Amino acid sequence: DSGVTQTPKHLITATGQRVTLRCSPRSGDLSVYWYQQSLDQGLQFLIQYYNGEERAKGNILERFSAQQFPDLHSELNLSSLELGDSALYFCASSVGSLASYNEQFFGPGTRLTVL
């Protein structure tokens, strides 16, 4: 158990809908990363937050957004869902030092199915 929790575990929804995925980082970790895992694209970095502020953006669609709250949990919002958004979404957290890389610990993921 990495100490990172994600809810829900599974999510089934329809095209055009909006969903929110939640992540609670390990105690003491300030950085949260979101990744998308799909069969064709593999594991891709979406976005990173550090202590409430957006720090880096990867291949995140404009229909997707995220935020990190004062208690450091994070939410990933996916809107106008398309069939191709079906994937596993992972959250990872790290201590988040700005001076050097720190190991990222991954949560168990949320499996999103868009019908």
Pairing of strands 53-57, 110-114: unpaired
> Which positions lie near other proteins, rule CB under 8 A?
2, 4, 31, 33, 35, 42-45, 48, 55-56, 58, 90, 92, 94, 101-109
Q: How far is the CB of 33 from other proteins (least distance, A)?
A: 6
For residues 70 and 89, the answer to whether their CB atoms sit within 8 Å is no
Choose between 64 and 90: whose C-beta lies nearer to other proteins. Answer: 90
Cα end-to-end distance, the chain, whole Å: 31
CA distance 97 to 102: 7
Choose between 32 and 114: whose C-beta lies nearer to other proteins. Answer: 32
Choose between 48 and 78: whose C-beta lies nearer to other proteins. Answer: 48
